[in-house]
Structure 1
Amino acid sequence: MTNQTDLSYPKDNIKVLLLEGVHPTAEENFKKHDFINVETYSEAWSEEQLLERIADVHLIGIRSKTNITKKVLEHAPKLKAVGCFCIGTNQVDLEAAMQAGVTVFNSPYSNTRSVAELVIAESIMLKRRIPLRDKKAHEGVWLKDAKESYEVRGKKMGIIGYGHIGSQVSVLAENMGFNVLYYDIEPKLPMGNATRMDSLDDLLAQSDIVTLHVPATPSTQNMMDRETISKMKKGSVLLNLSRGSVVDIAALKEALQSEHLSGAGIDVYPEEPESKGEKFNTDLQNLPNVILTPHIGGSTIEAQYNIGMDVSSKLINLIDEGTTVGSHTVPPLNLPKQKDAHRILHIHENKPGVLSEINQLLSDMDINILGQYLKTNEHIGYVVLDVDKQYDEEILEAMQKVKHTIRTRILY
Structure 2
Amino acid sequence: MKALVLENIHPAAVEVLEGRGYEVSVRPGAMSEDELVATLDDVNLLGIRSNTTVTRRVLEAAPALETIGCFCIGTNQVDLGAATERGVAVFNAPYSNTRSVVELVIGEVIALARRLPEKTQRMHDGVWDKSARGSHEVRGRTIGIVGYGNIGTQLSNVAEALGMRVVFYDKADRPAHGNARRMKTLGDLLEVADVVSLHVDGRPGNAGFFGAEEFSAMKSRALFINASRGMVVDYDALRDHILSGHIAGAAVDVFPVEPKAQGDAFDSVLRGLDNVILTPHVGGSTQEAQEEIGWFVAEKLARFALEGSTALSVNLPPVLPPVLTPGHRLGFLHQNVPGVLADLNSVFATAGDNVIDQHLSTRDQLGYVVTDASAPLSNEAVEELRRSEHCVWVRTW
TM over 0.5: yes
1:157 maps onto 2:143 in alignment: yes
Residue 353 of structure 1 deviates from its aligned partner by 2.8
Cα distance change, pair 67–270 in 1 and its aligned pair in 2 (3 A): closer
Counterpart CA distance in 1 for 2:186 and 2:217 is 10
The alpha-carbon deviation at position 390 of structure 1 amounts to 4.7
Aligned to 1:279: 265
1:307 CA displacement: 0.7
CA distance in 2, matches of 1:249, 1:127: 20
Q: Which residue of 1 aligns with 2:247?
A: 261
Amino acid at match of 1:313: E
| Distance change in 2, residues 1:36/1:270 (3 Å) | closer
1:21 aligns with 8
1:245-293 per-residue CA deviation (whole Å, 9 max, x = no partner) reads 1211111111111111111111111222222211111111111111111
Q: For the structure 1 residues 18 and 173, does the alpha-carbon distance in structure 2 shift closer, same or farther, using more than 3 Å as the test?
A: same
Q: TM-score, normalised by structure 1?
A: 0.93
Worse-matched range after superposition: 265-274 or 306-315: 265-274
Counterparts of 1:296-307 in structure 2, within 5 Å, are 296-307=282-293
Distance in 1 between residues matched to 2:312 and 2:282, nearest whole Å: 24
Q: 1:58 to 1:143 in 2, by over 3 A?
A: same
CA drift at 1:356: 2.0
Letter in 2 for 1:73: L
1:222-371 map, 5 Å: 222-371=208-357
Match 1:31 to one of 18, 38, 42: 18
Indicate whether 1:171 and 2:157 are aligned. Answer: yes
Please list every run of 5 or more consecutive structure 1 residues that lacks an aligned counterpart in the other structure.
1-13
Summarize deviations over 1:169-204 as a string: whole Å, max 9, x none.
111101111111111112221111111112211211
2:59 aligned with 1:59: no
Tell whether the 8 Å contact from 1:357 to 1:402 is kept in structure 2 after alignment. no
Letter in 1 for 2:230: G
In the alignment, which residue of structure 2 is the partner of 1:384?
370
Name which of 372, 380, 394 aligns with 2:358: 372
Q: Which moved more, 1:260-269 or 1:74-83?
A: 74-83
Report the residue type matching 1:165 in the other structure: I
Please, which of 127, 140, 144 is the counterpart of residue 113 of structure 2?
127
1:188 maps to 174
2:41 aligns to what SS in structure 1? coil
Residue identity in the other structure for 1:316: A
Give the AA of the match of 1:28: E
The percentage of counterpart residues that share the same residue type is 45
Following TM superposition, by how much is the alpha carbon of 1:393 offset from its aligned partner in structure 2, in angstroms?
Answer: 3.5
CA RMSD of aligned residues (A): 1.4
Gap runs ≥5 in structure 2: none
Mapped pair 1:114 → 2:100 = yes
Give the alignment partner of residue 100 of structure 1, picking from 48, 64, 86.
Answer: 86
Rounded to whole Å, the distance in 2 between the matches of 1:321 and 1:328 is: 18
Q: C-alpha separation between the residues in 2 aligned to 1:339 and 1:278?
A: 48
Q: Is the 8 A contact 2:332 2:393 kept in 1?
A: yes
Following superposition, the deviation at residue 41 of structure 1 comes to 1.0
Contact 1:240 1:265 (C-alpha < 8 Å) held by counterparts:
yes
C-alpha distance in 2 between matches for 1:92 and 1:221: 17
1:40 alignment partner in structure 2: 26
Write the distance in 1 (CA, Å) between the matches of 2:54 and 2:133: 51
Query: Which one is further off, 24-33 or 138-147?
Result: 24-33
Q: Deviations over 1:328-371 (max 9, x none)?
A: 22201111135453111111112233222211111111111111
CA contact (8 A) 2:225 2:252 kept: yes
8 A contact 2:76–2:203 mirrored in 1 = no
Worse-matched range after superposition: 180-189 or 300-309: 180-189
Q: Give, as a single letter, the amino acid of the residue that structure 2 aligns with 1:204.
A: L
Structure-1 separation of matches of 2:84 and 2:220? 48
1:46, 1:224 → 2: CA distance? 29
- 1:386 aligned partner, one-letter code: D
CA shift digits 1:9-47 (9 cap, x unpaired): xxxxx11111111110001112233x1411111121222
One-letter code aligned to 2:193: S
